[in-house]
A and B are shown apart, each in its own frame.
Chain A
Amino acid sequence: MSKIGHRLEPKTRPPEIRKKDFEEVELTISPEEAIKEASRDIKFCAAPCSFRGCPVNVNIPGFLKKVSEGDFKEAYKILIQNTPVPSITGRVCQQEIQCEGQCVLRRVGEPIAIGAVERFVGDWALENNIEIPVTSEKKHKKVAVVGSGPSGIVAAADLARMGYDVTMYEAFHIPGGVLAYGIPEFRLPKRILRKEFERLQNLGVNIELGVVVGTTYTIPELLKDYNAVFLGVGAGRPIFLNVPGENLAGIYTANEFLTRVNLMKAYMFPEYDTPIHVGKKVAVIGAGNTAMDAARSALRLGADVYVIYRRGRNEVSARAVEFKHAEEEGVKFIFWAAPVEFESNDGINVSSIKLMKMKPGEPDRSGRPRPVPTGETFNFDTDMVITAIGFYPNPLIPQMTPDLKVDDHGRVVVDIEGRTSIPRVYAGGDIVTGESTVIEAMGWGRRVARTIDKDLQKI
């Protein structure tokens, strides 16, 4: 234990200060801290972090070794072979169940803070304007990447580096998909996102905003202009609770709330035109990452915030660190309760929720105890509700593309390498898997970019 030392815990801004603003919570570690932490690496490990832990197979021992030597530029070069955006993945990946979850040091002590070191290297490279070199010759073939979220970013970067002419289409006015509309400023600052997109453009990726593929251009139209089309349009459609009163004013889906706050900057209303109705006492339904983001954003807008979850504390599905940060900041949790009805005093705005007390039952497919209604209900007074119980795949492209095969859940059906039912059309990320994580989607982007390259070599 003494030999491998204690794990570095990145510094965070004090909860009582950070909960009043949208500035970043966790701070980037210093070069000295990075070197020290990376030096905890042990010489002969089989790197399960890279092979089992990381969906994009980052060469983790390789980049840590370079960091330990103080060679950040080489470390960056190694990182971006697999993650083109280490400043983003270092911030948002669920490291404790991925790379750090597989770290061999976990067995004898504490795992290396891989995410914090990765983030340091990414930020260092952004500050020092280190460019990603393009290694391949121009292939003179065109690929359209639809959606600028996690899977699209990786697919576009990989294909551009392979020498393809890549055009990325985004429906919104800012690129990034869920990274732009979903993940709040205090977890992923927009300046980082902007810089990473500048980098993509420097790689030669052409980004077109305000294009809604499915209606502005149909898939058959894109196939006339491009050799291949990659669909990375995500799991955008919010799931509703389908209980009475859910459409009262003051009840938001997490996507609407976060889109207003993040993408439209409603937290700066009325300087920005998009309003947000901030309640005094806010109830957030659900306990995943999106629920934590919504709860902590509402807290920053001045509300008293309660997360209501139908399961218990041990079943919270958010990243451990987000749950911890939320509690530190003063978000309160009500476990084993589920909404059965939303009520209104004035017939317009929500004023209370009727909650069913739940209890743990038999384990479900996820291995967690299934929440079972007890039959006992209680009322919770609130003037704003945010529902964060999950998403379905975005229906827009399947709706407009009858030939595109989707399953019963609206997920685009692909083979193991990402080919859809339409020749030269590929898909990856949440539109294929349903709701998943940023890095899982990035893994798809990478895999499908290789498939596209393989297929286009043949023509």
Chain B
Amino acid sequence: MIKERQIIYKKELATNIYEMLIEAPKVARAAHAGQFVLIMVDEKGERVPMTLVDWNPEVGWIKIVYQEVGTSTIKLSMKKVGDEIYYIAGPLGHPSRVSKFGNVLMVGGGVGIPALYPIARELKRLGNRVITVIGAKTSNALIYEKEMSEVSDEVYITTDDGSKGIKGFTVDAVKLLLNNGEKFDAVWAVGPALMMKAVAEVTNGKIPVSYSSLNSIMVCGVGMCGACRVTVGNKTLLTCVDGPEFDSYQVNWKELTIRLQAYKKEEMISLEMLKGAGKV
């Protein structure tokens, strides 16, 4: 008998990048593309947002993909199949505003690619022509190529070192597509803030509809703390209850980048403590 919040599957997709299936029937039955969950690994843990990559309402599992970057994700990786996660709440945030646009460009970087996957799948299901650009530092770090291929009409790959596909960033491939005269009705970008910002800059004025899924630091996830606030079109909005997807052309990217750095020092202290405890 599988218990709620139990890990039922775990796989290392690339160095330090993991895919995990967790029993969460209440979340799975209500989930939509673009939404996320908040996870606390244990009772001393942080509340960490994780985008829903996939879910099965009948069987009751959810899938997340994450990269080990700090204390919370390292602690999550230390959990084994069969272990329980202390807390999962969701689905949270607004679903992606998907519809039949026509030609849609999907741009994903790093662990943003799996987060992009359910949105692309939904857009494909709705009859859009889905053109996908995915990128990673190097070919070994590239994940979800197969999954994205299954839901895309064309897939372009970029690597920073040129070990696979086009040498460069995802935005370089986007520029190439636009320069070749490709026309798109909508674009979704999910990845590091700098990537989403760069994509917004080159598509602005060329693609009418543009969404980015923001990765703001969150605490509550339900709209009461304001930690994840972001300026969109000169209004202060909350990523958790007003997003997580916003019009890329309206987001104040500079401010988002500033706020993402707020805890750099504390993140190091926490990591040192975890290492000092001999757990890693």
Residues of A within 8 A of B (CB): 171-173, 181, 209-212, 215-218, 234, 236-238, 240, 242, 246-250, 252-253, 255-256, 259-260, 264-265, 269-277, 347-348, 391, 394-396, 399
Pick the residue among B86, B259, B265, B273 that contacts A173 (CB under 8 A): B86
Q: Are A277 and B89 in contact (CB under 8 A)?
A: no
Which residues on the B side are within 8 Å of A210 (C-beta)? 87-89
Pick the residue among A218, A242, A396 that contacts B223 (CB under 8 A): A396
- Does B176 touch A at the CB level, under 8 Å? no
Q: Are B44 and A271 in contact (CB under 8 A)?
A: yes
Compute the total of residue contacts between A and B using a CB distance below 8 Å: 135
Q: Give the shortest distance, in Å, between B96 (CB) and chain A (any CB).
A: 14
Q: Give the shortest distance, in Å, between A348 (CB) and chain B (any CB).
A: 5
28 contacts between A and B (CB under 8 A): A173-B89, A210-B87, A210-B89, A211-B89, A212-B90, A212-B222, A216-B27, A217-B30, A234-B224, A236-B224, A240-B236, A242-B236, A247-B231, A247-B258, A250-B262, A252-B226, A253-B226, A255-B224, A256-B220, A259-B220, A270-B266, A270-B269, A270-B270, A273-B46, A273-B72, A275-B267, A396-B222, A399-B241
Pick the residue among B87, B91, B220, B227 that contacts A215 (CB under 8 A): B91
- Does B124 touch A at the CB level, under 8 Å? no
Q: A247-B255, A274-B46, A277-B262 are in contact. Are A212 and B89 (CB under 8 A)?
A: yes
Q: How far is the CA of A396 from the CA of B240 in the complex (A)?
A: 10
Q: Are A273 and B236 in contact (CB under 8 A)?
A: no
Q: Are A273 and B30 in contact (CB under 8 A)?
A: no
Q: Give the shortest distance, in Å, between A226 (CB) and chain B (any CB).
A: 16
Q: How far is the CA of A263 from the CA of B146 in the complex (A)?
A: 41
Pick the residue among A171, A249, A260 that contacts B219 (CB under 8 A): A260
1/0 contact string of B251-263 vs chain A (CB within 8 Å) = 0000100110111
Which residues on the A side are within 8 Å of B219 (C-beta)? 256, 259-260, 264, 274
Which residues on the A side are within 8 Å of B46 (C-beta)? 264, 273-274
Instruction: Tell me what chain B mostly uses at the interface: helix, strand, loop, or mixed.
Output: mixed
Q: How far is the CA of A270 from the CA of B265 in the complex (A)?
A: 12
Q: Give the shortest distance, in Å, between B227 (CB) and chain A (any CB).
A: 5
> CB-nearest residue of chain B relative to A241?
B236
Q: How far is the CA of A419 from the CA of B2 in the complex (A)?
A: 40
Best-surrounded residue of B35, B90, B226, B267 (most CB of chain A within 10 A): B226
Which residues on the B side are within 8 Å of A256 (C-beta)? 219-220, 225-227
6 tightest A-B contacts by CB? A236-B224, A275-B266, A249-B262, A253-B226, A256-B225, A270-B273
Apart from A215-B92, A252-B226, what are 4 other A-B pairs with CB-CB below 8 Å?
A212-B221, A236-B223, A274-B46, A395-B223
Q: Are A248 and B258 in contact (CB under 8 A)?
A: yes
- Does B45 touch A at the CB level, under 8 Å? yes
1/0 contact string of B45-62 vs chain A (CB within 8 Å) = 111000000000000000
Q: Give the shortest distance, in Å, between A236 (CB) and chain B (any CB).
A: 3
Which residues on the B side are within 8 Å of A348 (C-beta)? 258, 261-262
- Does B6 touch A at the CB level, under 8 Å? no
Q: Give the shortest distance, in Å, between B245 (CB) and chain A (any CB).
A: 15
Q: Are A246 and B241 in contact (CB under 8 A)?
A: no
Q: Give the shortest distance, in Å, between B77 (CB) and chain A (any CB).
A: 14
Pick the residue among A173, A209, A252, A394 that contacts B222 (CB under 8 A): A394
Q: A347-B258, A348-B258 are in contact. Are A273 and B223 (CB under 8 A)?
A: no
Which residues on the B side are within 8 Å of A391 (C-beta)? 224
Q: How far is the CA of A246 from the CA of B230 in the complex (A)?
A: 11
Pick the residue among B92, B231, B259 that contacts A249 (CB under 8 A): B259
Which residues on the A side are within 8 Å of B230 (C-beta)? 247
Which residues on the A side are within 8 Å of B221 (C-beta)? 171, 212
Best-surrounded residue of A210, A249, A347, A391 (most CB of chain B within 10 A): A210
> CB-nearest residue of chain A relative to B265?
A277
> CB-nearest residue of chain A relative to B89?
A210
Q: Are B259 and A212 in contact (CB under 8 A)?
A: no
Q: How far is the CA of A265 from the CA of B219 in the complex (A)?
A: 12
Q: Are B87 and A277 in contact (CB under 8 A)?
A: no
Which residues on the B side are within 8 Å of A273 (C-beta)? 44-46, 71-72, 75, 270
Q: How far is the CA of A44 from the CA of B27 in the complex (A)?
A: 58
Q: How far is the CA of A60 from the CA of B270 in the complex (A)?
A: 50
Q: Are B226 and A255 in contact (CB under 8 A)?
A: yes
Which residues on the B side are within 8 Å of A260 (C-beta)? 219
- Does B129 touch A at the CB level, under 8 Å? no
Q: How far is the CA of A246 from the CA of B226 in the complex (A)?
A: 11
